[in-house]
């Protein structure tokens, strides 16, 4: 029997935009509780990853934390959080939350104290360094938000490091007392029953202690699948992250999770969020004895070109890279990247659902992708996020009426981001009523996946097929499925190795040759092998 997280489909909730219970236009914890029946019943996912809901000035929308063990009033209270965990567990849904170890808000009491004096007892909880001669910053490192990662602190005469916004000072994991404090944070949430953590920018928590300059990268071209400031790519980020000391810090987190898993009999997991990188670096987060993270988010479908050869290569690369005993995973979108339907066009959405839910490994689905939502179009001068990521964080349209359910009262309240008409046309309400909708496709696939041994744990084997197609077998001794996906604009003919019949679609006649419509896919159940 596999562990729960290997069987699970994870659903990413962006709390501000998911569901609003009190009509102030911002999603909240009670809102999520109100949609658990949707998640568990209507849609049929197994776990939620709930983005950060800690107190925060919201410069980075919750990734700038001022208190790791409380809830921001805009999202609710600790009681609401406990109620969410209880209600989710009652429906068989696991709860994963964000752990943000790399930085806090500059308003966090730890930083306020650290900043207060060079000899503050918490000075070494953050990364402080003297200016170079001439008052220059300690290194040439550039931030994702643009400019230097160093901010000069006049009163104490030193610079502090911020890999992100200048209001997000980096924590110093080299300090044993800081590590102990962060492990206490992990304990706090484990004691409240959470099933796991998505560890934010895990690859960044240890840097070169010598603060060596990063080498320049003169030839960088902007990556359309990432939303970063152009300054960021002017250098190779080799010294400001990925220092090997981080694996030891990760092992401390994993040990604590193991202790809770053993004690409670419920496996608690760690998922690493790391930027795309070569596979051998990526797998290193799993630990040499699989004693690191349970898995590292795989963003290759976001980064690699959306055509059959690119996808096949990306799947094969992960399968080949994973050490024995490790488990694959796939992510199609998240709150930092252009949405799937925007990156690859609206026609890609159905096929993406088939792909995500039929591959070997744990799928993570971003809220709204099950509706085929595209990005919002927000003019630059109205961006709330410095990198314009508001556009990928639009509110979930639950209904087709004005604002899609984000404006119950007062009548003139408006959601924190606009809900355009094209979102209302794709609302949950409307799609549930349409048997051919993408939401109903997700529902059918999720329901089928739950009962299919081949999809849950079968081997993956690529099949020969026409160039615009992607075809593979998923098989266990009791079931063999062929998944036939046509990424091309023309119908395609695909052969399967033994006769089989199409599932989830009308025609069940057994055959060996299938016509797959343009931008569509089929799941075929093959007849048992005759020995
Ligand atoms: C991660 C988060 C992103 C955030 C950043 C800094 O990449 O996904 O939203 O801005 O870390 O915490
Ligand atoms: Ca609210």
Q: Given strand 128-129, what is the order of strands in its sheet? A: 128-129, 158-161, 150-153
Do you find a cis peptide bond into 410, omega within 30 degrees of 0? Answer: yes
Rounded CA separation 205/207 (Å): 7
Residue of 53, 165, 296, 336 to test ligand 1 pocket, by largest number of atoms within 8 Å of CB: 336
* pLDDT tens per residue, range 264-311: 999 999 999 999 999 999 999 999 999 999 999 999 999 888 999 999
What pLDDT score does 221 carry? 80
Which pLDDT value is given to residue 530? Answer: 76
Please report the beta strands in 334-431, taking only residues with DSSP state E, as ranges in sequence order: 362-366
CA-wise closest residue to 164 among 214, 112, 228: 228
Which pLDDT tens digit goes with each residue over 168-215? 999 999 999 999 999 999 999 999 999 999 999 999 999 999 999 999
Residue 410 has pLDDT above 70, yes or no: no
Q: Name which of 113-122, 420-429, 435-444, 503-512 the model is least confident about.
A: 503-512
List Cα–Cα distances, 406 to 15, 45, 373, in angstroms: 13, 23, 16
**Model confidence, pTM:** 0.97
Active site residue 259: yes
Give residue-wise pLDDT tens across range 146-158: 899 999 999 999 9
Over 70: is that where the pLDDT of 2 sits?
no
Give catalytic status of residue 200 as yes or no: yes
User: By 3-state DSSP, what share of the chain in percent is helix, strand and coil, each rounded to 5?
Assistant: 35, 20, 50
CA torsion sign, 205 to 208 to 209 to 212? negative
**What is the sign, positive or negative, of the torsion defined by CA atoms of 187, 188, 190, 195?**
negative
If we measure between CA atoms, which residue out of 337, 336, 330, 327 comes closest to residue 314?
A: 330
CA–CA gap between residue 129 and residue 105 (Å, rounded):
19
Structure confidence at residue 409 (pLDDT): 64
Ligand nearest to the CA of 52: 1
pLDDT tens digits, 236-271 = 999 999 999 999 999 999 999 999 999 999 999 999
CA 414 to ligand 1 center in whole angstroms? 26
Q: Which of 197, 200, 272 to mutate to test the pocket of ligand 1 (most atoms within 8 A of CB)?
A: 200
Please tell me which residue in 259, 377, 478, 527 is annotated as part of the active site.
259
Residue 164 CA: which ligand 1 atom is closest? 6
Per-residue pLDDT band for 412 (boundaries 50, 70, 90) equals low
- Percent with pLDDT over 90 in the chain: 91
């Amino acid at each position: 029997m596999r562990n729960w997280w290997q069987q699970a489909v994870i659903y990413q909730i962006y709390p501000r935009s998911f569901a609003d219970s009190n009509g102030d236009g911002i999603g909240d914890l009670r809102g999520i509780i109100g949609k658990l029946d949707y998640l568990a019943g209507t849609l049929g996912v197994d776990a939620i990853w709930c983005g950060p809901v800690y107190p925060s000035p919201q410069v980075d929308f919750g990734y700038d934390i001022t208190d790791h063990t409380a809830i921001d009033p805009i999202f609710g209270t600790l009681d609401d959080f406990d109620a969410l965990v209880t209600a989710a567990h009652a429906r068989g849904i696991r709860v994963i939350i964000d752990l943000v170890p790399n930085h806090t808000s500059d308003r966090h009491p730890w930083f306020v104290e650290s900043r207060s004096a060079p000899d503050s007892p918490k000075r070494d909880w953050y990364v402080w360094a003297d200016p170079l001669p001439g008052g220059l910053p300690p290194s040439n490192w550039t931030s994702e938000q643009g400019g230097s990662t160093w901010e000069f602190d006049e009163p104490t005469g030193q610079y502090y490091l911020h890999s992100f916004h200048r209001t997000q000072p980096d924590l110093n994991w080299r300090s044993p007392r800081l590590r102990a404090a962060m492990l206490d944070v992990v304990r706090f949430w484990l004691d409240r029953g959470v099933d796991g953590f998505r560890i934010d920018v895990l690859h960044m928590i240890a840097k070169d202690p010598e603060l060596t300059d990063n080498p320049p990268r003169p030839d960088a071209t902007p990556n359309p699948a990432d939303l970063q400031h152009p300054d960021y790519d002017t250098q190779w980020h080799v010294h400001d992250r990925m220092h090997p000391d981080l694996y030891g810090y990760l092992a401390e987190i994993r040990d604590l999770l193991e202790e809770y898993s053993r004690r409670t009999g419920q496996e608690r997991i760690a998922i690493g969020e790391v930027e795309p990188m070569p596979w051998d670096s990526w797998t290193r987060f799993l630990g040499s004895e699989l004693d690191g993270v349970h898995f590292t988010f795989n963003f290759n479908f976001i980064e690699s070109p959306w055509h059959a050869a690119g996808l096949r290569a990306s799947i094969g690369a992960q399968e080949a890279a994973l050490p024995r005993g490790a488990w694959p995973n796939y992510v199609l979108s998240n709150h930092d990247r252009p949405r799937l339907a925007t990156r690859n066009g609206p026609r890609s959405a159905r096929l993406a659902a088939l792909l995500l839910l039929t591959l070997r490994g744990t799928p993570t689905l971003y809220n709204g992708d099950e509706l085929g939502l595209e990005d919002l179009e927000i003019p630059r001068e109205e961006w709330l996020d410095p990198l314009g990521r508001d556009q990928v964080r639009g509110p979930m349209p639950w209904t087709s009426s004005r604002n899609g359910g984000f404006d119950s009262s007062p009548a003139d309240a408006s959601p924190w981001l606009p809900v355009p008409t094209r979102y209302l046309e794709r609302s949950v309400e409307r799609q549930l009523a349409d048997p051919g909708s993408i939401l109903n496709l997700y529902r059918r696939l999720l329901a089928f996946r739950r009962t299919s041994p081949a999809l849950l744990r079968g081997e993956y084997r690529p099949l020969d097929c026409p160039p615009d197609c992607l075809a593979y077998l998923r098989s266990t001794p009791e079931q063999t499925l062929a998944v036939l996906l046509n990424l091309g604009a023309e119908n395609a003919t695909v052969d399967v190795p033994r006769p089989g019949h199409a599932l989830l679609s009308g025609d069940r006649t057994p055959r060996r040759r299938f016509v797959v419509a343009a931008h569509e896919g089929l799941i075929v159940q093959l007849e048992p092998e005759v020995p």
